[in-house]
Amino acid sequence: MRLRVFLLALCLPSLAWANPATPILRIQGSNTIGAELGPALVKAMLEDQGLKDVKIQPGEHPNEQQVLGQSPDGQWLQVEVDAHGSSTGFAALDKGEADLAAASRPIKDSELVTLEGLGDLKSPEAEQVIAIDGVAVIVPPGNPLKQLSTDQLAQVFSGQINDWQSLGAGRGPIHVYARDEQSGTWETFKELVLGPRHLNLTAQANRLESSEQLSDEVSRDPQAIGFIGLPYVRQAKALAIGDGEARAMAPTISLIATEDYPLSRRLYFYRPPERPNRWAQALVDFTQSAKGQAIVAGFGFVAQTVQAIEVQATEKMPADYRELARSAQRLSVNFRFAEGSATLDNKAQADLQRVLDYVKAHGKLDRQVTLVGFGDTKDDAARALLLSKLRAMAVRRELVKNGVVFRDILGMGAEMPVATNDLDEGRVKNRRVEVWIY
């Protein structure tokens, strides 16, 4: 997505469009962000900055839009939003054609190397998680299928399973739909489903750049299956997805907010530290504000605003956890750790303040909070139990600094996995800390 802002002379409206000034802010990247959410955030940010008559209009090419508004001093700001895939955003940063990249997947190591001259794009200041999304696996409304495992998904999208009869959902060839090569949605699906199993997308897949078009095509094709960002399910039917021993989960708001849903993902803005731009900073700050996160939620993504969630106690839960579910509420955030590290990742560091704000606002500072840590089965059970509690203690240390007195700290070991323990990616998701309030 590319966001260009041009200063236009109010006194020469007929010449302004033909002779735009040098852009003062440009964003390129993700179609998932840029199709609707990005322009809406820009529009609201410009209004928050005091601009008047702000509007969104079509751009020069498909998947491009413009935002136009008048500044208090009588100048016009024109904003162009290009949304051609996450990879194009990082490429634009490299070419000096963007000040901010939008991505629906994390920056790759190869991109970090290419862009190292722009500063550390993995630093907390540069890498900004702006929303949580779920990659929904969709079928037509009339398809009787209810759920699939990630192993089955990999077999379907690689072409190893190519008839609906193999899935117990009627007969006939399976028509696979997928986003294009530049898409962060595709990159996420590939990383979470195909890559860990060393499989490739079937050559018969229908590839589309537009999220809306893919969803509509799947809805109209009785033999279709596809994947899409959660806001673009539209008229299609989303399946529940299971990973390893974890129960199958539907792409619901609460399961995506905690990132327990197997195909949950983060949406990002990347702001190069060595190429500062005050408009880029203004957009990042606005997006992370309560106003910005409300817009995120309004467009069908999952905001990072902390909320309390009721959890239904079941007999399959460990006894301590079952009692917790009966007497407390879980907050809509999981603390996770940087891969191969005991350090909280960038989102977790930002979530510390969000949790602290919630606890203070609701009067829960004094012995009203319990932390629950989880591990994985890579180590023996005793070690997994110890490490799960140590992870909870790491979160406790940060919150205690701000006056939180905890009711309890629990370690659940390798219980209740949310992802497969057979893959590194799954084990990373299982190493988490939950927050519960009374």
User: Coil, strand, or helix at residue 369?
Assistant: strand
> What is the three-state SS of 63-110?
CEEEEEEECCCCCEEEEEEEECCHHHHHHHHHHCCCCEEEECCCCCHH
Q: Where are the domains of the chain?
A: 3-126+271-298, 133-255, 306-437
Domain 306-437 has CATH 3.30.1330.60: yes
DSSP secondary structure string, 344-363? B-HHHHHHHHHHHHHHHHTT
Which amino acid makes up residue 276?
Answer: P
Alpha-carbon span 330 to 360, nearest angstrom: 16
pLDDT for 17: 37
pLDDT mean across residues, the chain: 90
- Convert the pLDDT of each residue in 44-90 to its tens digit: 999 999 999 999 999 888 889 888 889 888 888 888 888 999 999 99
314 burial (CB, 10 Å; 0-12 / 13-18 / 19+) is exposed
User: Between the CA atoms of 254, 255, 258 and 260, what dihedral angle is there, to the nearest 10 degrees?
Assistant: 170
Beta strand extents in 246-394 (DSSP E only): 264-270, 308-309, 329-336, 369-373
Which residues, 6+ apart, have CB-to-CB distance to 11 below 8 Å?
none
Instruction: Round the CA-based radius of gyration of the chain to a whole number and report it.
Output: 23
Judge contact between 134 and 265, C-beta under 8 A.
Answer: yes
Q: Which pair of structure tokens corresponds to residue 140?
A: 């037509």
Phi and psi at residue 54, to the nearest 5°: -80, 130
| Cα within 13 Å of Cα(62), Cβ side | 7
**CATH classification for the domain delimited by 3-126+271-298, as one of 3.40.190.10, 3.30.70.1150, 3.40.1360.10, 1.10.1060.10:** 3.40.190.10
Mean pLDDT of 269-281: 95
The label of the residue with tokens 């895939």 reads 85
- Convert the pLDDT of each residue in 191-201 to its tens digit: 889 998 999 99
* Assigned fold of 133-255: D-Maltodextrin-Binding Protein; domain 2 (3.40.190)
306-437 shares the fold of 3-126+271-298: no
- Convert the pLDDT of each residue in 202-259 to its tens digit: 999 999 999 999 999 999 999 999 999 999 999 999 999 999 888 899 999 999 999 9
pTM of the predicted model, to two decimals? 0.81
pLDDT for 10: 36
> What is the three-state SS of 152-205?
HHHHHHHCCCCEHHHHCCCCCECEEEEECCCCHHHHHHHHHHHHHHCCCCCCCC
pLDDT for residue 421 is more than 80: no
The residue that leads in pLDDT, 412 or 4, is: 412
- β-pairing, 432-437 vs 369-373, is antiparallel
- Convert the pLDDT of each residue in 101-148 to its tens digit: 999 999 999 999 999 999 999 999 999 999 999 999 999 999 999 999
